[in-house]
């Protein structure tokens, strides 16, 4: 059996689908379905069982066997709202919960691949996997960093792979339920469906209008690295394309897909000042040194693939 926590979510459901394509259907999905819209992400997937996240936590903390043999745990479940400031919630879901998953996996020699986040780098300009570069600017990032540090402290004597992947800006099919936390590509697409303009932030942090830059990575590439990581050398690795692109570039790619529209600029929100990453770019040195050699989709190809998958073809 393979366990995917957060398996009804964005990255988790895409991972389940990829496991199905690889011939696996003995999959246990763990999630929180208070927002039942996420079920739609699994409508075309084959899984063996579903367990609520709270029941799963109770079972693993009690040391219960989940299956005769667990081949791997992909821990994607988390509270991912970077604007959430309930620190108690964040630390329980993203730190304490993850520590229990870690204990369960390592005590049984089960490979563990877990989702970390590039948010741990905060507003810094260097994105190396190094404590020198880790400066969280919100509680979500802090919760992710605390678990990364726990893993670093706890690896002595661990015999099975434990791989943390610091996701940069992931986009792709299956993210609609994330609402305002969905990727900008999703929101740009929705804006063009409703009108003729894509709204970008005006300049901030020394960047011109729409020139804030992020490392955007398609979910297919994220899934491919997750599958590779289950047999990789233990470590924490960045997972982006290694190339920052401007929001103007992303908007132009969406406009090109639709063949119409324009860009307009809106004032930068006051509530985001001081807690917004205006630049991110993954340093892939560690990932490449660990043996992952595949190329990543650039923003033009990735946006085309994503929007072709979610926009029905025009009639006639």
Q: Which residues contact 128 (CB under 8 A, 6 or more apart)?
A: 283, 285
User: Do the beta carbons of residue 118 and residue 167 sit within 8 Å?
Assistant: yes
Q: Among the options 140, 167, 171, 237, which is catalytic?
A: 140
CB 94 within 8 A of CB 78: yes
Q: Which two tokens stand for residue 126?
A: 């260097």
Question: Is residue 99 flagged as an active site residue?
Answer: no
Is residue 10 within 8 A of residue 17, CB to CB? The reply is: no
Query: How far is 293 from 312, CA to CA, in rounded Å?
Result: 34
Q: Which residues contact 296 (CB under 8 A, 6 or more apart)?
A: 217, 218, 221, 240, 241, 242
Task: Please report how many Cα atoms fall inside a 13 Å half-sphere around the Cα of residue 116, on the Cβ side.
Answer: 30
What residue has token string 């991110």? 280
Instruction: Pick the catalytic residue from 50, 178, 207, 292.
Output: 178
Residue 207 annotated as catalytic: no
281: left (phi over 0), alpha (psi -120 to 50) or beta: beta
> Which residues carry out catalysis?
140, 178
């Amino acid at each position: 059996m393979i366990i995917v926590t957060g398996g009804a979510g964005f990255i988790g459901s895409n991972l389940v689908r990829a496991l199905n394509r690889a011939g696996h259907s003995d999959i246990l999905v763990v999630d929180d379905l208070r927002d039942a819209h996420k079920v739609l992400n699994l409508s075309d997937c084959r899984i063996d069982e579903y367990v609520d996240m709270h029941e799963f936590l109770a079972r693993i903390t009690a040391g219960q066997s989940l299956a005769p043999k667990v081949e791997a745990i992909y821990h994607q479940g988390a509270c991912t709202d970077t604007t959430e400031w309930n620190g108690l919630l964040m630390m329980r879901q993203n730190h304490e919960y993850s520590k229990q998953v870690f204990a369960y996996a390592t005590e049984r020699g089960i490979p563990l691949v877990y989702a970390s986040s590039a948010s741990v780098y905060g507003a810094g300009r260097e994105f190396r996997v190094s404590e020198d570069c880790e400066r969280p600017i919100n509680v979500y990032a802090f919760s992710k960093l605390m678990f990364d540090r726990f893993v670093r402290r706890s690896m002595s004597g661990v015999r099975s792979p434990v791989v943390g992947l610091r996701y940069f800006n992931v986009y792709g099919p299956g993210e609609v339920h994330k609402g305002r936390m969905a990727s900008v590509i999703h929101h740009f697409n929705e804006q063009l469906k409703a009108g003729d303009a894509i709204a970008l932030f005006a300049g901030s942090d020394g960047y011109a209008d729409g020139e804030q830059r992020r490392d955007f990575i398609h979910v297919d590439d994220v899934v491919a690295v997750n599958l590779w990581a289950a047999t990789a050398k233990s470590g924490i690795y960045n997972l982006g394309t290694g190339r920052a692109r401007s929001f103007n570039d992303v908007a132009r790619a969406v406009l090109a897909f639709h063949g119409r529209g324009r860009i307009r600029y809106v004032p930068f929100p006051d509530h985001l000042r001081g807690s917004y990453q205006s630049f991110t770019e993954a340093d892939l040195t560690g990932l490449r040194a660990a043996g992952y050699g595949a190329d990543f989709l650039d923003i033009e190809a990735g946006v085309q693939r994503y929007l072709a998958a979610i926009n029905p073809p025009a009639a006639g």
